[in-house]
Amino acid sequence: MFTSVLMIEKPLTPEDVEFVTTLHGEEQISFVVLMQPRGDQADVLLRAIDDVALGELKDAVRENEEPEGRAAREPAAIALEYSLQELRKAGAEAVGQVIEDHPLDALKTVVEESGADEVIVLTAPHYVEEFFHRDWASRARHKVGVPVLKLFAHNE
């Protein structure tokens, strides 16, 4: 069985589920999903700059309305459970956890403990962080010892 660690920051859409479950053809896949709640991995200004770069001005203005920190834990847990259910419905094995502190350290540990074959970082574009190679995928490539694939999540 092929094992992928899947890092996400929002619930998987049906398109995301289909994409990640068919990446390796007919091979049976097991996912370990790591959900990072909003708040600690990027600040409001960086997210607003990304929104402006994507032409989503209304989203940039509403960045401060999104729950962060402790307030983001419950929505993250709900999003994780939904995503796990959808992966299972698609025929994959799936377990997961919400990670809050030091997501890349947690990623390294999960990769080692699960014997993962790859890491998939499924995220919205974060242009500022990507430009400076501070995004999850860029930083993970130097830490985990397995291939890291960066994919852009579909919008709801």
pTM for the model: 0.76
pLDDT in tens, 46-80: 454 445 555 554 554 444 445 555 666 788 899 99
| Domains in the chain: boundaries | 2-54+61-152
Instruction: Please give the CATH topology (third level) of the domain spanning 2-54+61-152.
Output: Rossmann fold (3.40.50)
Q: Could you read off the pLDDT of 7-34 as tens digits, one per residue? A: 998 899 999 999 999 999 889 999 999 9
Continuous segment of H or E residues that includes residue 35: strand 29-35
**Mean pLDDT, residues 36-52:** 54
Token output for 128: 């500022």
Q: Return the pLDDT at 92.
A: 96
Quote the pLDDT of residue 135.
Answer: 62
